[in-house]
C-alpha cells in the first residue's frame, strides 16, 4: 500500500512525496487525510479504502469510483 500512496504522490507532483520516505505509513496516511486515530487504533477513511485498496469491494460491496476529466478549451 505504501508504494501505491508514494506512486500517487509522485504522479500528482505533491510536496509530500519527498517527505514520504521519512514518514511512517501511519503518519503518511494521516498527512494524506486517508486515516485517523492513534497508532494503536488507526482507522482508514472511506476515501483511503476506495482509492488505495486493490479490492475496495471487500470493504464496500458494489463500490466504484467515477473519474471525470474536464477539458479547458481556453
Query: Domain count of the chain?
Result: 1
Whether residue 65 is contained in a domain is answered as: no
Structural domain includes residue 33? yes
Pair 47, 23: CB distance under 8 Å? no
Confidence of residue 50 (pLDDT cuts 50, 70, 90): confident
Nearest of 33, 40, 28, 39 to residue 1 by alpha carbon: 28
> Is residue 74 domain-resident?
no
**Average pLDDT of the segment spanning 62-73:** 79
Strands 43-44 and 35-36 come out as antiparallel
Q: Over the stretch 2-36, which tens digit does the pLDDT of each residue have? A: 888 899 999 999 999 999 999 998 999 999 999 99
- The answer to whether residue 70 is domain-embedded is no
Identify the pLDDT of residue 16.
95
Range of the domain at 53: 2-58
Does residue 39 belong to any structural domain of this protein?
Answer: yes
7 grid coordinates? 506512486
Question: What average pLDDT does the structure give for the chain?
Answer: 86
Amino acid at each position: 500500500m505504501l508504494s501505491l500512496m508514494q506512486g500517487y504522490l509522485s504522479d500528482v507532483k505533491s510536496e509530500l512525496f519527498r517527505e514520504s520516505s521519512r514518514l511512517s505509513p501511519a503518519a503518511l496516511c494521516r498527512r494524506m487525510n486517508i486515516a485517523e486515530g492513534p497508532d494503536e487504533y488507526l482507522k482508514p477513511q472511506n476515501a483511503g479504502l476506495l482509492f488505495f485498496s486493490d479490492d475496495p469491494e471487500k470493504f464496500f460491496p458494489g463500490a466504484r469510483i467515477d473519474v471525470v476529466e474536464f477539458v479547458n478549451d481556453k
